[in-house]
């Protein structure tokens, strides 16, 4: 058995304990004068069969052999090795083989339990004590190397309540037992740990998440492979420039919307829950942020050429491609034709939202109940109906206008006949400019077409049930959006009308109907070979939010954690209502949060902060964040029977939520309102 010995200057070796594999763990007094391991010969000679741990790390290759990508890979290009100090075993330090042992418990229960050592209990016991108890046996952490900012950091679980003394002890022992020790810093992974870090001694330097992001040039968002013709333009130009579907586009900033393209690269970083990223994930096309993309020499060298783009979690690549291989890829990865749920063209009753999606009875499942409601009231209203009847989910009173009225409107005014003629016109089908102009004229005519008198009467009567509302919000709810597996995020817009003015309300509804025929949405449906006339547009109607104090989107699982071992809610929230998190203006950032709601002490980790509020403050108060977390937990549980574990789905599951904080009902004290919930696409589909 080999022995790795860490010597100390003017101090004494405290203990030595044989570790698994071929090394021996040696603990030392990690004082300020401790001897520092320097880079030298590697200890792992057989990388195919590495040891389960090392007590020292003497070379970069050994670190790489033991390392895996962190469970919570919020930054690209990172490698992480978990570390353990066993305080019951003479303060022995172990650099774990993190490929073989994903979590600390797996290692300590295998190698540090029984014999001369105390027995390690169950996972539940371990989790409830070893991250929280002041007299815990183990000190647990991970050493992560972030490639782009070139930072070595020691990190704890965001919910770890380790004291200053514990962090200092772990940090100094790791520092003196590894070649990277002189560069090591402590990275607090939650707000609570940031507070502790502020009181750490000078011997423990601190690196913040903002520091790491500032040194990061690459942001992987939708992991995928694509072939296409590389094209440089700007987000502003997209308003007038047509991008062919086989384009990989490089933009200066993230657009609010984009037609079907093979891949997207933006010079500014994006928010993971932006419309364009949700679109990219739904389309299974690569999307990435790259600082300096517009002048990047690799990208510029391929301008106008046919290329292959690969976006991975830790790196991206672009290579020249031939038309033969690209065509083979396009043929193999063409989306299957999408058939929309058959629209109900008979039901015409305006319906209170709580009655839109009845809870299932008999053999019917919740998913079946949602699907049935979608046929009449669309995806947004079908999900909203269940939210209305879910405890701890504050939501506006609402009603649904069934899609039968859309079909009546389009048929009575001759619009479907016009669409048939357009689809039969070779010039319309074959020329993008012709399609754009014809669709624009169709929308203009929709905006002045009359409604059936029976519709006017029903709308007037239902609006009268909302006497305190100055305006009503008419939100799209079709059978072609917000559905499990159908990619049409942001296809349609919602509009507002004065409740007391039936003509204003009808104008808002006409705008919704016209949006079915925008150029981008038409192209999206064509790409998926959707029958355009099968789209049914219902409406979800509630009191308008006049001037909310915060707006946001959230996911009820951790979109950075494929393993499910680091559960958290992901929240993206911005101050006020003018700057939307799903479509932020250039240069704005929002509060991006990992909220460990179901962990003790409910730790909060801020990935980025809003730059439109006072520095050092947050958009939401702790009480508001708790209210949101409670609602997210309830929504995650409520829809599990339709999309999650309760439905038999044992894979990754989350709900995508939109919310606002508004003080109209409680002046000076903004409260939570959930706007919608829909199934969130699995972000870990992998790269083909």
Q: What is the rounded average pLDDT for all residues in the chain?
A: 88
The percent of residues in the chain predicted with pLDDT above 90, rounded, is 64
Report whether pLDDT(18) > 60: no
**Local confidence band at 579 (pLDDT 50, 70, 90 cut-offs):** confident
Angle made by CA atoms 269, 274, 279, in degrees to the nearest 5: 110
The percent of residues in the chain predicted with pLDDT above 70, rounded, is 91
The CATH class, in words, for 351-543 is alpha beta
Interval 230-279: pLDDT, tens: 999 998 888 788 888 899 999 998 887 788 899 999 998 887 777 788 78
* Cβ-based neighbours of 314, under 8 Å, separated by 6 or more: 69, 76, 77, 78, 147, 220
pTM of the model: 0.74
DSSP 546-581: SS-SEEEEEESS-TT-SSSSS--EEEEEEESSSS-T
Q: What does the alpha-carbon distance between residue 486 and residue 414 come to, in Å, rounded to a whole number?
A: 29
Interval 312-330: pLDDT, tens: 887 899 999 999 999 999 9
Residue 582, CA distances (Å) to 45, 191, 220, 673 in order: 50, 25, 17, 17
Report whether pLDDT(516) > 90: yes
Interval 392-433: pLDDT, tens: 999 999 999 999 999 999 999 999 999 999 999 999 999 989
pLDDT at position 630, please?
Answer: 97
What are the two backbone dihedrals, phi and then psi, of residue 19, each rounded to the nearest 5 degrees? -100, 175
pLDDT at position 488, please?
Answer: 65
Angle made by CA atoms 532, 533, 539, in degrees to the nearest 5: 100
Report whether pLDDT(683) > 80: no
Per residue, the 3-state secondary structure of 104-167, as one string, reads: HHHHHHHHCCCCCCCCCCCHHHHHHHCCCCCCCCEEEEEEEEECCCCEEEEECCCCCCCCHHHH
Q: Which of 199-203, 510-514, 611-615 shows the lowest mean pLDDT across its residues?
A: 611-615
End-to-end Cα, the chain, rounded Å: 43
Cβ neighbours of 37 (radius 10 Å): 20
- Domain locations along the chain: 13-209, 218-333, 351-543, 550-679
Interval 324-375: pLDDT, tens: 999 999 999 988 888 899 999 999 999 999 999 998 887 889 999 999 999 9
Q: What does the alpha-carbon distance between residue 177 and residue 168 come to, in Å, rounded to a whole number?
A: 14
Which architecture characterizes domain 218-333 according to CATH? 3-Layer(bba) Sandwich (3.50)
Report whether pLDDT(481) > 90: no
Residue whose tokens read 């590389």: 230
Mean of pLDDT values over 549-568 = 85
| Element at 210 (helix H, strand E) | helix 209-214
**Local confidence band at 662 (pLDDT 50, 70, 90 cut-offs):** very high
**Local confidence band at 498 (pLDDT 50, 70, 90 cut-offs):** very high
pLDDT at position 189, please?
Answer: 84
pLDDT at position 685, please?
Answer: 57
Residue 153, CA distances (Å) to 68, 159, 268 in order: 15, 17, 26
pLDDT at position 9, please?
Answer: 22
Which architecture characterizes domain 550-679 according to CATH? 2-Layer Sandwich (3.30)
pLDDT at position 489, please?
Answer: 61
Angle separating helix axes 366-388 and 622-638, nearest 10 degrees: 160
CB 278 within 8 A of CB 256: no
Cβ neighbours of 526 (radius 10 Å): 15
Interval 594-651: pLDDT, tens: 899 998 778 888 888 899 999 889 999 999 999 999 999 999 999 999 999 998 888 8
């Amino acid at each position: 058995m080999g022995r790795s010995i860490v010597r100390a200057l003017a101090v004494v070796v405290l203990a030595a304990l044989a570790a698994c594999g071929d090394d021996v763990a040696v603990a030392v007094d990690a004082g300020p004068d401790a001897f520092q391991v320097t880079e030298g010969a590697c200890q792992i000679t057989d990388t195919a069969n590495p040891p389960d741990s090392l007590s020292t790390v003497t070379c970069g290759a050994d670190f790489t052999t033991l390392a895996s990508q962190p469970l919570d890979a919020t930054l690209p290009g990172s490698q992480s090795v978990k570390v353990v100090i066993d305080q019951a075993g003479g303060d022995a330090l172990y650099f774990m083989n993190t490929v073989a042992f994903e979590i600390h418990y797996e290692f300590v229960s295998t190698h540090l339990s029984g014999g001369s050592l105390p027995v390690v209990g169950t996972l539940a016991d371990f989790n409830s004590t070893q991250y929280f108890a002041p007299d815990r046996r183990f000190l647990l952490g991970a050493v992560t190397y972030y490639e782009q900012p070139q930072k070595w950091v020691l990190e704890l679980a965001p919910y770890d309540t380790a004291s200053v003394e514990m962090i200092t002890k772990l940090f100094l022992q790791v520092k003196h037992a590894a070649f990277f020790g002189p560069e090591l810093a402590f990275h607090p992974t939650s707000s609570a740990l940031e507070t502790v870090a502020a009181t750490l001694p000078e011997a423990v330097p601190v690196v913040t998440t903002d520091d790491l992001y500032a040194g990061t040039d690459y942001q992987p968002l939708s992991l995928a492979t694509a072939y296409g013709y590389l094209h440089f333009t700007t987000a502003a130009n997209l308003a007038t420039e047509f991008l062919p579907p086989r384009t990989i586009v490089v933009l200066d900033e993230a657009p609010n919307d984009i037609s079907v393209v093979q891949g997207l690269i933006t010079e500014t970083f994006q928010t993971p829950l932006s419309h364009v990223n949700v679109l990219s994930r739904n389309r299974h096309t690569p999307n990435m942020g790259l600082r300096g993309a517009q002048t990047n020499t690799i990208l510029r060298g391929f301008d106008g050429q046919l290329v292959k783009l690969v976006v991975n979690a830790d790196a991206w690549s672009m290579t020249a491609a031939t038309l033969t291989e690209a065509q083979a890829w396009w043929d193999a990865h063409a989306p299957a034709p999408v058939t929309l749920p058959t629209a109900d063209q008979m039901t015409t009753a305006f319906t209170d939202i709580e009655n839109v999606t009845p809870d299932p009875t008999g053999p019917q499942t919740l998913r079946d109940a949602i699907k049935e409601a979608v046929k009449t009231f669309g995806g947004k209203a079908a999900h909203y109906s269940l939210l209305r009847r879910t405890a701890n989910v504050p939501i506006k009173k609402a009603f649904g206008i069934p899609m039968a009225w859309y079909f009546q409107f389009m048929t009575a005014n001759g619009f479907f006949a016009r669409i048939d003629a357009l689809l039969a016109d070779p010039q319309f089908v074959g020329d993008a400019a012709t399609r754009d102009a014809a669709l624009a004229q169709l929308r203009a005519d929709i905006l002045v077409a009359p409604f059936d008198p029976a519709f006017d009467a029903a709308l007037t009567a239902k609006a009268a049930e909302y006497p305190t509302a100055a305006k009503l919000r008419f939100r799209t709810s079709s059978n072609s959006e917000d559905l499990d597996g159908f990619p049409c995020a942001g296809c349609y817009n919602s509009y507002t009308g004065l409740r007391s003015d039936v003509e204003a309300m009808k104008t808002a509804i006409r705008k919704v109907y016209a949006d079915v025929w925008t150029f981008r949405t038409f192209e999206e449906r064509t790409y998926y070979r959707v029958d355009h006339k099968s789209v049914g547009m219902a409406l979800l109607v509630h009191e308008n939010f006049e001037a909310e104090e915060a707006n946001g989107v959230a996911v009820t699982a951790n979109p950075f954690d494929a393993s499910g071992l680091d559960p958290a809610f992901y929240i993206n929230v911005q101050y006020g209502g003018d700057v939307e998190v799903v479509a932020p203006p250039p240069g704005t950032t929002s509060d991006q949060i990992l909220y460990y709601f179901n962990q003790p002490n409910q730790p909060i980790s801020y990935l980025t902060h809003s730059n439109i509020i006072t520095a050092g403050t947050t958009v939401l108060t702790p009480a508001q964040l708790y209210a949101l977390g409670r609602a997210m937990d309830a929504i995650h549980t409520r829809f599990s029977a339709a999309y999650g574990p309760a439905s038999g789905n044992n894979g990754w599951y989350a709900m995508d939520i939109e919310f606002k904080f508004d003080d109209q009902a409680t002046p000076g004290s903004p409260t939570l309102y959930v706007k919608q919930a829909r199934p969130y696409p699995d972000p870990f589909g992998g790269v083909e």
